[in-house]
Structure 1
Amino acid sequence: MTIAFISDIHGNFEALKAVLAEIDRMRVAEIVCVGDVVGYYSQVNECCDELRRRGIPSVLGNHDWYLGYGGFCTRSRSVNECLVYQRKVITSENVNWLRAFHLQMQMDTVRIVHAGWSDPIDEYLTNPSEDYFARLSGTHFVSGHTHVQSIHRFGGKTYCNPGSVGQPRDGDPRAAFATFDGETFALHRVAYDMQKVFDRMEAAGFHDYYYGGLKTGAKNLRRLAD
């Protein structure tokens, strides 16, 4: 059974629709979200509603935690400004849905967290190492959080970061996801209409500062922290 992994959607419904359409085209029936359904962009309800409608499970990301439990980001004022807006628009049903997310998940042989296995919602695995994964039981691992798509193999273990659906930071602005066929991970990218995201953010009162980095897949999205 092939599984598709999506991560770091961040309220970018246009990117999510494009990714799900491609997954449907590939006839991949099983989809798992690696966290951060919400955060940054304006269509948090649409993203939550679509995952709920499809029955797509998700682990808890740091932005899901911020919005679900009333937390704030200690690294970025801009992130918190986005959260203020999202708290005004998100439905109570979607808040409760976010609160039901687990910190970790296992799908067949794949262990899944949003960030890392030392801190499931806020550890950055920017340079995955063999020593790190030698301490973990299992053979296949998936996490997101860095918004950088990658696959790393360490002996008999494989780690995959599917990248970000809604806010890539690896220099490729196309929405990212990954698939796993039971043995091998594969990385995928999909183009989408960013202008619709820009228009909705502007209508919500946000300046280009908050979304301009989407155009290039900037590593440091206009200084917005994760």
Structure 2
Amino acid sequence: MIGIISDIHGNHVALEAVLARLDAMGISEIICLGDVGGYYCEINECCETLQNRKIWTLMGNHDWYLAKNESCPRSNSVNVCLDYQRGIISDANLQWLSSLKPQALYGKLSIVHGGWLDPLDEYMIPGTEYFSGIDGHFFASGHTHVPCIWTGDSKSYCNPGSVGQPRDGDPKASFAVFDGNMFTLHRTDYDIARIQDKMKNAGFTPYFYENLATGSRIGGKIDSLKGLS
């Protein structure tokens, strides 16, 4: 059994809750599909927890922005959060983020952060045509923050959704489990007010964290796979 997490985005409160749930399920092998950084104020705590627990981790686009000292071309809100994280991240944690890769084969799982056409930054929608030219049978990626499972033509795909910033209208932290043949999706409550207080104390206005209570993007938009097409 493998726990699959993604898109933590500096929300260590949510990460703690998901890991506690995985521990309670007896799942000790866990992989992360990237985006440890971005958005919320506990980047060091998230990096250190993943390293201390030896959780195998991919690089996400937000991690790449931090590692390469680049800006996000799509969102000023993202860049405000990245600038904050650049000011507090330790050298050791930045070096660790810089060492990550956006794509890998983990056992029988083909994993990327975004998609197989662009491992870092593709908002992909699974389907028979998409996977027809891609080798393998089991696939997982993050990036969309929308959990889903798709199967077809002897192939199976899972997006575990987001630990730290769900966007599908459900504020519970999301993750998945792979038993070697099948994916299952799971949600767990966490103390949203606690990370909101931490963001407030770090100097952020409610605009940057009120969305956590509604399971949406910053600004309030709720995403779906259809909306990403």
TM-score range, shorter chain: over 0.9
Check the 8 A contact 1:19/1:175 in 2, yes or no: yes
Q: Secondary structure at the match of 1:221?
A: coil
Q: Quote how far apart the aligned CAs of 1:103 are.
A: 2.1
Residue in 2 that maps onto 1:221: 218
Give the Cα–Cα distance (whole angstroms) in 2 for the partners of residues 33 and 184 of structure 1: 18
Q: Quote how far apart the aligned CAs of 1:119 are.
A: 0.4
Residue in 1 that maps onto 2:174: 176
Check the 8 A contact 1:169/1:221 in 2, yes or no: no
Residues 5-24 of structure 1 aligned to structure 2 (within 5 Å) = 5-24=4-23
Residue in 1 that maps onto 2:227: none
Give the Cα–Cα distance (whole angstroms) in 2 for the partners of residues 159 and 9 of structure 1: 20
Residue in 2 that maps onto 1:146: 144
Q: Secondary structure at the match of 2:185?
A: strand
Q: Secondary structure at the match of 1:48?
A: helix
Q: Secondary structure at the match of 1:72?
A: coil
Q: Secondary structure at the match of 2:72?
A: coil
Residue in 2 that maps onto 1:166: 164
Paired positions, count: 222
* 1:124-176 Cα deviation digits (max 9, x unpaired): 01x32210101100000000000000000112001100000000011110000
Q: Quote how far apart the aligned CAs of 1:109 are.
A: 1.0
Q: Quote how far apart the aligned CAs of 1:198 are.
A: 0.7
Could you list the structure 1 runs, at least 4 aligned residues long, displaced by more than 4 angstroms after superposition. Answer: none
Residue in 2 that maps onto 1:119: 118
Question: Taking structure 1 as the reference length, what is the TM-score of the superposition?
Answer: 0.96
Residue in 2 that maps onto 1:68: 67
Q: Secondary structure at the match of 1:105?
A: strand
Residues 1-226 of structure 1 aligned to structure 2 (within 5 Å) = 2-125=1-124, 127-218=125-216, 220-222=217-219
Check the 8 A contact 1:3/1:29 in 2, yes or no: yes
CA RMSD of aligned residues (A): 1.2
Q: Which moved more, 1:186-195 or 1:100-109?
A: 100-109
Q: Secondary structure at the match of 2:219?
A: helix
Gaps (5+ residues) in structure 2?
Answer: 224-229
Identity within the alignment, %? 52
Check the 8 A contact 1:104/1:120 in 2, yes or no: yes
Q: Quote how far apart the aligned CAs of 1:223 are.
A: 6.1
Letter in 2 for 1:199: D
